[in-house]
Structure 1
Amino acid sequence: MRSLTASSQSNVALRDPVALAVASLAAIAASGLVLWAVGSAIVAAAFLAGVIAIMGIVVLARRLGGGTEPAAPVIDWTIARALASGEGGALAVTDRAGRLVCANDRYEAAFGGFVTPPSLPVGDAGVAALTAAGRTAWRDGMGGAPGLVANGAQFGVTVERSGAQEDLLVWRFVPTAETDLAADAGRLLGGSAGDALGRAGVMAALMAPQGRAIAANRVLRLRAMGHEEGAIEGRDFASMLTADGEGAIRFASEGPLGRPLRIVHVPLAAGSPSLLFLIDDDRPVVSGRGGAQTSEPARALVDLLPFGLALVDRDGRFIHMNEAFARAAHVEAQSPPVYPGDLVIREDKAAVADAVRRHAGGNPYVADMAVRLRDHPDEPVALTIAGARGLGEAAVLLSLKDNSEESKLKRQVAQATKMQAVGQLAGGVAHDFNNILTAIIGHCDLMLMRHTPGDSDYDDIQQIKANSNRAAGLTRQLLAFSRQQTLRPQVLQLPDVISEVSNLLKRLLGETVTLQIKHGRDLGAVRADPGQLEQVIINLAVNARDAMQSKGSGGVLTIQTRAVSVAEARRMGDDLLPQAEYTALSVSDTGTGIPAEALPKIFEPFFTTKDVGKGTGLGLSTVYGIVKQSGGFIFADSAPGKGATFTIYLPVHRAEEAPKVAPPPAKERVEAAWGSGTILLVEDEAMVRAVAERALVRHGYTVLTAEHGEAALELLEDGANPDLMVSDVVMPTMDGPTLVRHARQRYPSLPILFMSGYAEEQLRKSIDLDNVAFLPKPFSVQDLAAAVQVALARHGK
């Protein structure tokens, strides 16, 4: 997926000056009008001065308040791209301003570059269809434009409104190759499906847009060509028919004594192959729904086709619908609808009725509409409307696609996109808080060096430090949710982890809740952080306890482990669970259960069903982040009043599978943190830089400070020769890794100690440097001094 927003971002800087110039001209013009109306130059000058003052206040407020527009959250399009790649189509994303935000490689190949939709090389009619589909998507959430041709290839297009703020359009272009369709039609019509139609008295053929036959079933070949294996492919179908003076149509091979035919043409999409059905005109008719009449073969035809079809008469009433249509429209057998408008919400009734009326009156074109069903108004569906002829009283053919699975995938993509954006926000907030907490904890440590137990201020300082450490725990929760915390994974068995935490659980659950632990056989080892895994179990157990106690009595909490084979994972058929071996951990309770409307939101940050003041909404978000960062999957199942079950699937670890990123060695403990040498300290946050400098000076080091990477390079160019560089990772203008690469051109063996509020694993994936140590924020004075001494000792200094 390629991002195409860089060019558009260069225009942002021009907005404020242009707007200021326009506003200034407007103010001068307004003062001129005041002078003309009042006739007083003093009043006009005072008016102009007031306007200029207001403009100055606005500009100053924007600058002080960060007037530049906040950067849009970076969205991870991996899932959307995987879906598009799996469908074999091109994908593009545009924003509210109509700019192309990103597109995949198939899009570039299909349209000869990154052209912004709807201005694609598809002809004027295609551009108009794409424009209409985009408007429909902005209004209803989904639009479509089938049968577009670009560079000799044919595409079907769907447009979906998406994004955390619903400010993006996702354009999917799925190729529809005629050769593949012909092969499939030949196989179906020449096989059992075509024979079934023949037994019902229906002759079927697939026709190219030019009127030539692509494939046909046996009974049509027999009637049109004289024998079942007649070569019908590529022949002009009209040349095989004849009409008499009364308008009766027959096969030319049967002559004037042949049985007359009724022809039903079903256009699937504009410009694409269509289905042609021929029925003997002397077949009896039967009454359908609403008193209308339709032929028995026509009903059999509609029932046999695999996609949802319904027949509507000239008065707009349903005559017949097949099971696929009823399933897609969520029609109940005991209360069938009378009109197509009965299926949709009130806002769409008029549009559907008008479209049905136009096609019943002879409109030859196929229309696609995005409508919302009455029983499922949240998910727009595509309704295709075409005129029908030769089906008795049926005048309109409706087609509706069952998109329940597609809607499920869309919700999952939207949820993943939202969680990605919120996760990035949480990670950034945690990083900033870690800087603040580093300064607070560091200053507390420096003050404690001047106070001893018993001093009047000692207890107050200890209290400040204790609360700061509690706040540091909250930032770790935010990092866990955003999957950016530092993990120490180990190869372990889940029963061992549960055994370690079981005694704590018994105390947390209380006397009214019974804890049951069950372990399966042949459990595979998993690779995870045992401490974080214990946190997952505790969070789930506490939530279960609260749910059971809310019923006014206790209950049973069951923790169970079991092995999941590849075959079982395949049978589960969940699109989000890859086929592999897993060790499953389930936590079940007998509480009140989770309401159906809340179940899709339980892993969202700050969402809670508890009373105000009794829950932060971060518990399950933290569980979700830890599980996903560990490479696992978590699912929740619940029935109201019957408790809830959370199941975690962790992939089985194989000994031959080495981790992609080797975990850093454990910190070496030193008895004393005093030392000597020159330290180059680079930190853009002044408060962190100040406390780190004082801490290192107190422990015997000579400290050179720099507020950013350029200042540090200037010190090195001036002849500074530090024994160790202690640097932040994320800094403006020049980040820590870039600084280190420049510094090592002058001092190749210079040891580096990075300090950062972001996760070490995330940083190591993006930093390709040797001899680098990490110190996570927030840290104490003792932590910093010990990390510096260890880094120097490893390099013999």
Structure 2
Amino acid sequence: MKALEDAAGFTRLPPIVAIAVALLVSSGLVWLIAGSGTLAAGYGIGLAALMAAGVAISRMRQTPGEESFAQPDWSVTVAAIEQPDTAIAVTDRANRLVCANSLYAEWFGISRAPPNLSLDRESLERMVRAAREAWRDGRGLAEPLAQEGEGDAWRGEAERVGRGADYLIWRFTALKLEDPVARVGEWISGPLGAFLSNSGIEAAVVGTDGAIRAVSTGFAERATGDPLATLAGQDFVAQLRSDDRERIYFAREGRRGTPQMLVQVALGDPDDARPSRADEVPSLMLLVDSGVGIGGGWEGGGNAAATPQLEALLGALPLGLAMTDRDGRLLFANDAFLRAVALEDRGLPPFPSDLVVREDKSALIDAVRRFARGPATSGDMAVRLLDQPDEPISLGLAGVRGLGEAAVLLSLVDTTEETRLKHQVAQATKMQAVGQLAGGVAHDFNNVLTAIIGYCDLMLLRHTPGDSDYDDIQQIRANSNRAASLTRQLLAFSRQQTLRPEVLQVPDVVSEVSQLLKRLVGEKIAFRVHHDRDLGPVRADPQQLEQVIVNLAVNARDAIHSRGDGTGRLTLATRRVSATDVRKMGSDIIPVADYTVLVVQDDGGGIPQNLLGKIFEPFFTTKEQGKGTGLGLSTVYGIVKQSGGFIFADNTTGPDGMAEGARFTIYLPVHRGPERREVREEAASASGWSAGGRILLVEDEDMVRAVAERALSRAGYTVTVASDGEEGLAAVANDGAFDLIVSDVVMPGMDGPAMIRAARKVRPDLPVLFMSGYAEEHLRSEIDVAHMHFIAKPFSVQQISDEVARVLAESRVKKPADSA
């Protein structure tokens, strides 16, 4: 135990004392064993040297954790060096990144430590030199520092720190380098540019990629018409145009402007001794007007200097004028000439012969040369332009002298607007003629259908279901009704069909037809309906309005199916448009009033632009043969116009600017008058009128007259027939005891209205029922006959019998009231 305690006490001695004791003990043992003091002394000295070296080496390899000082917390250091405008990094002697703030990470990243940053070669050399100075002198400076191809620059400063001077602190601040090109751009867009423009010099700063960086106000005004336009980023070359003689003009001004002389000034670094090409540095472009006294006028001198002023004068005239030289080359053309030959966007060709058709080229070339080389005379010739090969126009030619290169003056009246009006008038005349033809054909055809349907009804009275002829008669009658619907379409197009207008709400009509539309368009097409609030009532025929909606929906369905897989959208919407909204629209077509608007829109690809003006024409269709008559949209147009409304067709565009679908917008005027409901009650329920009475039937068509006579006779009436107006008037004069006159409107000789006016001189209270294939509203506006009634052709036997009974019942009710 005592030995252990002595050993423990030995280990508790200070390290230096323990080592000295051990050294003395070991030297003493060597002296005792060897018996030599010299050997013992040498052994002690050598062992002491080895122990000293070991202690020194162990201290050099000592880890930071073995030091007596606490390990540093670098997160506290990072928080302390966080600054908003200075990037800070700490490196050790091995150039390893110890810590850095967030701005350093944003500017340079943390993958590299100073001085080995991602900089250009010169900046790296400055960084290495600054690091060397900092380790040697305690501080080093490196500026400017820049990255390859970047415009940013910094100032770097290194400082040696630490207890053992083992670290460098790097501080980086951003440098704001002055851009000489930007300064020039500021000058050009400011007062200096205005001074240059006043002197006839326009300026622009253009980058190496040809894009404009800055322009003077005069350049912007001549290039775009707006002096405040910056034109930054636009192509400089696109603002100019050159002719075949390499003269430069502003593209917007064309040849009506003055030629420009282009001067290019490279904006390179003046301190850079290396020769630089103009396309490697930004440039200052100066456009010097030909009128500015720099080396005289343009080529030719003399009279040529006055040509720009002459061109400016001719450019202001409304008459189309152009000038050629003696070789027939076009020198100038004003806007009116370019419009007349449809070359506003394409520019002027080299020769006038390029404007006309091939057959007129040689004659025009000879005429220009003759006027250019002969005496100063004038004349004209008929030519056909390329864009109007079917319409010859008169081209004036005049030889001129004393205007420099100009030798021939060409004159051409701009007939663009006149041609457009001619086309519109021709189209309107054609549509009116087609409408009149359609109405006449439909009227005559209705007479035939009236007879066919009437005879079918009479035959069906003698046949019952099950008879061998019953089904055939029904088939004839069904086909006759289909033909009658076709005539109604023709009358709708010519705005001569019979309408039964009522005061109604458009959403109610849409609701009535919605279920039918869902079945028509199918499940693949999403059908949506949206109604605006506070819609005004309209006065229209609900059945005809339903036909309009169905026709537009079917066209939209076909357009969607033709596009691809048959999936799409169909939207019906109603909107309220006030008179204020119409006034803001500034439309020359729609009168200022309140409207209820119906919009039918699809995404079926839209209508080709060249067909938008033709879609309402009769018999025009884009569908395959046998799949469309071309009367659908013409019928829609006729119904809307006859109802006092307006319809417009246009295309909707998608995000890419391409046509996405078609949109039909129908404007129906809001009805402001009292609500009128025409209640047509049957005779039996209205007044108890029993069949019987004397009727005068006046009809020039034998078959219609025969059917109507048989129908009324079977109903119990005594019928007297007449084949024209004179015969009918004679019947009234000879025996005026008729209860009712049933008369056609259009007859040879005396028509129906003239006959009725003459008959009412004898019988003022004599009721009249007109028969016609034309529209009732049209006849009421054209015929000045009071208390007239109307039945549209074709009609069935039951329809004419019921209508006669109703008119007789109404007249019987009025007579006691009149006598009272």
TM-score, L = length of structure 1: 0.59
Q: Say whether residues 1:496 and 2:508 are aligned partners.
A: yes
Q: Which residue of 1 aligns with 2:789?
A: 773
- Cα distance in 2, alignment partners of residues 311 and 567 from structure 1: 50
User: 1:714-758: CA deviations, max 9, x gaps?
Assistant: 323433522211111111111001111222222222111111111
What letter is aligned with 1:604? E
| Equivalent in 414, 419, 442 of residue 454 of structure 2 | 442
CA contact (8 A) 1:634 1:646 kept: no
1:297 matches 2:309: yes
Distance 2:579 2:370 in 1: 54
1:343 to 348, 355, 370: 355
Amino acid at match of 2:464: T
- CA–CA distance in 1 between the matches of 2:334 and 2:373? 24
Aligned equivalents of 1:731 and 1:361: distance in 2?
72
Q: By how many angstroms is 1:707 displaced?
A: 0.9
Contact between 1:345 and 1:372, CA under 8 Å: does it hold in 2?
yes
Contact 1:446 1:781 in 2 (8 A): yes
Match for residue 316 of structure 1 among 325, 328, 333:
328
2:635 is aligned to 622
Residues 767 and 340 of structure 1, relative CA distance in 2, 3 Å threshold: same
Q: Secondary structure at the match of 1:611?
A: coil
- The answer to whether the 8 A contact 1:673-1:782 is kept is no
Q: For residue 444 of structure 1, report the CA deviation from its aligned partner.
A: 1.8
Deviation of residue 333 (structure 1)?
6.4
C-alpha spacing 1:638/1:653, structure 2 compared with 1 (3 Å): closer
Could you list the per-position Cα deviations for residues 53-101 of structure 1 after superposition, in whole angstroms to 9, with x for gaps in the alignment? xxxxxxxxxxxxxxxxxxxxxxxxxxxxxxxxxxxxxxxxxxxxxxxxx
User: Aligned pair in 2 of structure 1 residues 332, 522: CA closer, same or farther (>3 Å)?
Assistant: same
Return closer, same or farther for 1:663/1:377 CA change in 2, 3 Å cut-off: farther
Using the alignment, how far apart are the partners of 1:298 and 1:415 within structure 2?
Answer: 42
Q: CA deviation at 1:468?
A: 1.8
Q: Distance in 2 between matches of 1:287 and 1:567?
A: 59
Partner residue, 2:549: 537
Q: Which residue of 2 aligns with 1:721?
A: 737
Letter of the 1:653 counterpart? V
Query: Distance in 1 between the 2:482 and 2:316 partners?
Result: 66
The residue correspondences of 1:358-377 to structure 2 (distance < 5 A) are 359-360=371-372, 371-377=383-389
Normalising by the residue count of structure 2, what TM-score does the alignment of the two structures yield? Answer: 0.57
- SS of the aligned residue for 1:435 comes to helix
**Amino acid paired to 1:791:** V
**Matching residue of 1:678:** 694
Going from structure 1 to structure 2, the CA distance change for 1:378 and 1:652 (only over 3 Å counts) comes to: farther
Give the secondary structure class of the aligned counterpart of 1:440.
Answer: helix
1:558 aligned residue (571, 577, 596)? 571
Q: CA RMSD in A?
A: 3.5
Task: Measure how far apart 1:760 and its partner are.
Answer: 0.7
The corresponding residue for 1:750 is 766
Q: What's the offset of the Cα at 1:370? A: 5.8
Distance 1:788 1:366, change over 3 A: farther
Q: Which deviations, in whole Å up to 9, do the C-alpha atoms of 1:252-280 show, x marking residues without a partner?
A: xxxxxxxxxxxxxxxxxxxxxxxxxxx9x
Match of 1:115 in 2: none
Q: Which residue of 2 aligns with 1:611?
A: 624
What does residue 114 of structure 1 align with? none
8 Å Cα contact 2:691-2:717 kept in structure 1: yes
The match for 1:710 among 726, 734, 754 is 726
Query: 1:121-132 maps to which residues of 2 (within 5 A)?
Result: none
Q: Is 1:474 matched up with 2:486?
A: yes
Residue among 611, 616, 633 paired with 2:646: 633
Displacement of 1:309 in angstroms is: 3.0
1:785: how far off?
1.3
Structure 1 residues 388 and 631, CA gap change in structure 2 (3 angstroms): farther
Q: CA deviation at 1:769?
A: 1.2
Q: CA separation in 2, counterparts of 1:363 and 1:778?
A: 76
Corresponding letter in the other structure for 2:641: K
Among 663, 667, 671, the residue aligned to 1:650 = 667
Q: Tell me the amino acid that sits aligned with residue 435 of structure 1.
A: N
What displacement does 1:324 show? 4.2
Distance (whole Å) between structure 2 residues aligned to residue 366 and residue 456 of structure 1: 87
Shift of 1:679: 0.9
Aligned to 2:470: 458
User: How many residue pairs end up in the alignment?
Assistant: 516
Q: Percent identity?
A: 61
Q: Distance in 2 between matches of 1:292 and 1:348?
A: 31
- The answer on 1:415 being equivalent to 2:427 is yes
For 2:721, the aligned partner's letter is: T
Shift of residue 703, structure 1, vs aligned partner: 1.0
User: 1:675 & 1:413 partners in 2: Cα distance?
Assistant: 54
| Unmatched tracts of structure 2, length 5 or more | 1-198, 201-290, 816-820
Q: CA deviation at 1:325?
A: 3.2
Alignment of 1:176-191 (within 5 A): none
Cα distance in 2 for residues equivalent to 1:463 and 1:347: 61
Rounded Cα–Cα distance in structure 2 between residues aligned with 1:401 and 1:567? 40
Instruction: Tell me by how many angstroms 1:680 deviates.
Output: 0.9
Aligned mates of 2:606, 2:435 — CA distance in 1: 27
| C-alpha distance in structure 2 between counterparts of 1:490 and 1:669, whole Å | 22
The amino acid across from 1:642 in the alignment is A
Q: Is the 8 A contact 1:725 1:752 kept in 2?
A: yes
Secondary structure of 1:795's counterpart equals: helix
Question: Relative to 1, partners in 2 of residues 1:451 and 1:371: Cα closer, same or farther, differing over 3 Å?
Answer: same
Shift of 1:402: 4.4
2:807 partner amino acid: A
Q: Cα gap change, 1:539/1:570 in structure 2, threshold over 3 Å: closer, same or farther?
A: same
Matched, 1:398 2:410: yes
Deviation of 1:353 after TM superposition, in Å, equals: 3.6
- Per the alignment, residue 519 of structure 1 pairs with 531
Letter in 2 for 1:441: I
Partner of 1:737 in structure 2?
Answer: 753
Cα separation, 1, equivalents of 2:371 and 2:721: 78
SS in 2 for 1:454: coil
Query: Distance in 2 between the 1:504 and 1:525 partners?
Result: 23
CA distance, structure 2, for counterparts of residue 371 and residue 775 of structure 1? 58
Distance across 1 between alignment mates of 2:414 and 2:534: 41
2-structure distance, mates of 1:405, 1:373: 16
- The equivalent of 1:329 in structure 2 is 341
Q: Alpha-carbon deviations, 1:681-727, whole Å to 9, x = none?
A: 11111111111111111111111111111222232343352221111
**Residue of structure 2 in register with 1:601 after alignment:** 614
What is the identity, as a one-letter code, of the residue corresponding to 1:746? V
Label 1:608 to 1:311 Cα distance change in 2 as closer, same or farther (>3 A): same
Contact 1:319 1:394 in 2 (8 A): yes
Larger relative contact order (Cα-Cα within 8 Å, sequence gap ≥ 6):
1
Whether the 8 Å CA contact 2:339–2:416 is kept in 1: the answer is: no
- Which range moves more in the overlay, 778-787 or 396-405? 396-405
* Unpaired runs of at least 5, structure 1: 1-198, 201-278
1:317 counterpart letter in structure 2: R
Q: Match of 1:591?
A: 604
| 1:173-252 to 2 correspondences below 5 Å | none
- SS at 2:720 equivalent: strand
Separation in 2, partners of 1:455, 1:507: 36
Judge conservation of contact 1:386–1:398 (CA < 8 Å) in 2: yes
Answer whether contact 1:492 1:528 (CA < 8 A) is retained: yes
